[in-house]
């Protein structure tokens, strides 16, 4: 028989136990809800975001490099880079041949590469494809294949401005030239975009732009691309005609100090560097140093005129065409006899300038060369620029005094020599050189008195236009041109000079009546018969200067000479057209 308690309940403690447990369960669930939605909301939201929210980089294009007229020399074009997650691609091996063909690679090689990287989550498939080619691959919708928007650097002028502009690497970081020198200025700042993706990386929602991309700054160079093409073309032809090893041309605006053209050979195409050799990348106009030879005689005579001991008409006896200086003999090519100072420049007499420097001492010439910028950086900030060598002596031996007077015993770059001749054409004022466009003319430092600079320009004009001058091949019809030739023995690595290896040099200014441009031409090791500066380098100077004077509409200052130039009959002109 079952006993029932007076209140009719059956084991009431069990009921209370069940109710208590249910209550505890409700409290636990309520606490967990509060914990998830209130206490740990930030942590859980962060964990969820890590699995779905991504920050995608918004690429920023690099700033343009242009010439002084806005013609592009370096631009960034949009491209597509394809990458893959091999852990996802492994499960779709049947799509590999199709993907390999779309990428333009061998299917077998492609399969081997994927298998070798099967444990990785990221590999590049192909970088910097055109947007059209990249879109064609993405339309295949192969699982595990993704795209990234990037930019690729392109150089419209190709090899013509390669040494000056330089190039970037695959990540658009400057590696050479002005691309390297102004890398921070040109670089853009990438932006960020917040998106939601699924676990396979597919875009679900574009949430917001966190930060906008900021493009790089543009760089406006002093170079005139038209003149750069002319310098490049004439230099290339000279190297071909004379079998030369290399060469450089530098053209400078004497008033502003702007470098209007800087060409070198051999050159390279920065858009296709598959066969690039280190020797091709060197900007020889700023990096290669050489003994300038006779172009220094211009400043030797300047030092003599500034001393007050000499005038253009001062008579100097160079007979018998040689002179003994300590243990060395200074020689001229011919016995020029008695010359005035102008004749010393026109005939390029070593004996004449050596006598002048031994008379006034080496210090005035050394000080002048130093003030003209020889033996120091030009201030252009170009990577790897050479400073050259200007020897300094407490007491100058006679031999070194004599050799300094005609350009031996020191070394310069073509750009340093162009800067010195630019000062000569700018009323004797030296202005800083610039590879960037200048908006305001600099004042400059007076290095040579203006009256002396005018006398020197007349002497240089006689060297080109005068009877028996060494620079006659540098003439430009309709313009008065002045300059100085140089034929320099090349030094040997172990010391001394090579017997049959030369550098042909020409440095000059035009037009003489109102100078606007200075230019220097250096041809390294001409091998086809001729090697004198007046025969090899002077014609290049003439063609480059002719193009500059005409393209920039400089008024002719030698019209009588222009009228003497024979032109084709008009009827022949018409018959061709």
What burial class does residue 88 get, using C-beta atoms within 10 Å of its C-beta: 0-12 exposed, 13-18 middle, 19+ buried? middle
Do the beta carbons of residue 318 and residue 332 sit within 8 Å? Answer: yes
Question: What is the token pair recorded at 15?
Answer: 């009921």
Q: Which residue has the tokens 């595990």?
A: 144
Question: What is the token pair recorded at 65?
Answer: 């490099």
**CA 458 to each of CA 10, 307, 312, 313, 509: distance values in angstroms, whole numbers, following the listed order:** 133, 19, 10, 12, 11
Q: List the catalytic residue out of 222, 294, 348, 349.
A: 294
For residues 289 and 270, give the distance between their C-alpha atoms in angstroms, rounded to a whole number: 25
- Buried residues in 171-193 as b, exposed as e (16+ CB within 10 A): ebebebbbbbbbbeebbbeebeb
Task: Using DSSP, state whether 519 is helix, strand or coil.
Answer: strand
Q: What is the DSSP letter of 512?
A: T
Do the beta carbons of residue 263 and residue 233 sit within 8 Å? Answer: no
What burial class does residue 231 get, using C-beta atoms within 10 Å of its C-beta: 0-12 exposed, 13-18 middle, 19+ buried? buried
Pairing of strands 315-317, 338-340: antiparallel
**CA 542 to each of CA 211, 343, 348, 482: distance values in angstroms, whole numbers, following the listed order:** 55, 22, 19, 10
Cis peptide before 511 (omega within 30 of 0): yes
Do the beta carbons of residue 352 and residue 405 sit within 8 Å? Answer: no
Do the beta carbons of residue 201 and residue 83 sit within 8 Å? Answer: no
Active site residue 453: no
Cα radius of gyration (the chain):
37
* DSSP structure string for 126-162: EEEE-HHHHHHHHTT--TTEEEEEEEEEE-TTGGGGH
Residues with catalytic function: 294
């Amino acid at each position: 028989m079952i006993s029932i308690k007076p209140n009719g309940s059956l084991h009431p403690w069990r009921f209370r136990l069940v109710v208590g447990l249910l209550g505890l369960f409700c409290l636990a669930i309520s606490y967990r809800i509060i914990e998830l939605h209130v206490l740990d909301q930030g942590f859980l939201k962060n964990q969820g975001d890590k699995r779905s929210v991504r920050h995608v980089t918004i690429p920023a294009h690099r700033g343009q490099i242009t010439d002084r007229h806005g013609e592009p020399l370096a631009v960034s074009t949009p491209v597509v880079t394809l990458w893959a997650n091999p852990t996802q691609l492994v499960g779709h091996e049947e799509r590999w041949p199709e993907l390999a063909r779309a990428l333009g690679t061998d299917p077998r090689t492609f399969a081997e590469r994927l298998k070798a990287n099967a444990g990785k989550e990221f590999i590049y498939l192909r970088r910097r494809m055109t947007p059209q080619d990249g879109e064609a691959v993405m339309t295949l919708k192969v699982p595990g294949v993704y795209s990234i928007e990037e930019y690729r650097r392109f150089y419209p002028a190709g090899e013509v401005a390669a040494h000056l502009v330089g190039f970037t690497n695959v990540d658009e970081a400057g590696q050479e030239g002005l691309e390297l020198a102004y890398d921070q200025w040109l670089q853009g700042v990438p932006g960020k975009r917040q998106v939601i993706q699924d676990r396979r990386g597919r875009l679900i929602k574009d949430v917001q732009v966190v930060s906008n991309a900021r493009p790089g700054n543009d760089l406006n160079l002093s170079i005139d691309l038209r003149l750069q093409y002319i310098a490049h073309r004439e230099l290339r032809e000279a190297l071909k005609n004379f079998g030369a090893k290399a060469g450089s041309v530098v053209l400078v605006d004497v008033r502003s100090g702007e470098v209007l053209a800087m060409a070198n050979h051999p050159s390279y195409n920065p858009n296709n560097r598959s066969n690039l050799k280190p020797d091709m990348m060197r900007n020889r106009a700023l990096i290669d140093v050489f003994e300038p030879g006779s172009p220094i005689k211009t400043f030797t005579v300047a030092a003599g005129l500034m001393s007050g001991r000499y005038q253009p008409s001062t008579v100097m006896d160079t007979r018998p065409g040689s002179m003994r200086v300590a243990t060395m003999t200074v020689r001229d090519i011919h016995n020029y006899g008695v010359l005035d100072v102008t004749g010393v420049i026109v005939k390029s007499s070593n004996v004449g300038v050596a006598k002048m420097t031994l008379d006034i001492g080496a210090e005035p010439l050394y000080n002048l060369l130093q003030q003209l910028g020889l033996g120091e950086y030009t201030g252009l900030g170009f990577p790897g620029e050479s400073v050259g060598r200007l020897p300094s002596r407490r007491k100058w031996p006679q031999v070194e005094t004599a050799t300094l007077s005609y350009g031996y015993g020191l070394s310069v770059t073509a750009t340093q020599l162009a800067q010195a001749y630019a000062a000569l054409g700018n009323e004797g004022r030296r202005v800083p050189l610039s590879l960037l466009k200048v908006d305001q003319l600099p004042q400059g430092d007076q290095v040579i008195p203006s009256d002396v600079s005018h006398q020197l320009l007349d002497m240089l004009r006689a060297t080109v236009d005068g009877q028996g001058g060494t620079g006659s091949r540098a003439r430009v019809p309709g313009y008065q041109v002045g300059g100085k030739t140089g034929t320099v023995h090349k030094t040997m690595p172990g010391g001394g000079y090579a017997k049959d290896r030369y550098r042909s040099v020409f440095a000059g200014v035009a037009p003489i009546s109102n100078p606007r441009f200075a230019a220097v031409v250096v041809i390294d090791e001409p091998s086809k018969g001729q090697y004198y500066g007046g025969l090899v380098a002077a014609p290049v100077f003439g063609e480059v200067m002719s193009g500059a004077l005409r393209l920039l509409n400089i008024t002719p200052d030698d019209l009588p000479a222009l009228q003497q130039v024979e032109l084709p009959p008009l009827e022949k002109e018409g018959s061709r057209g």
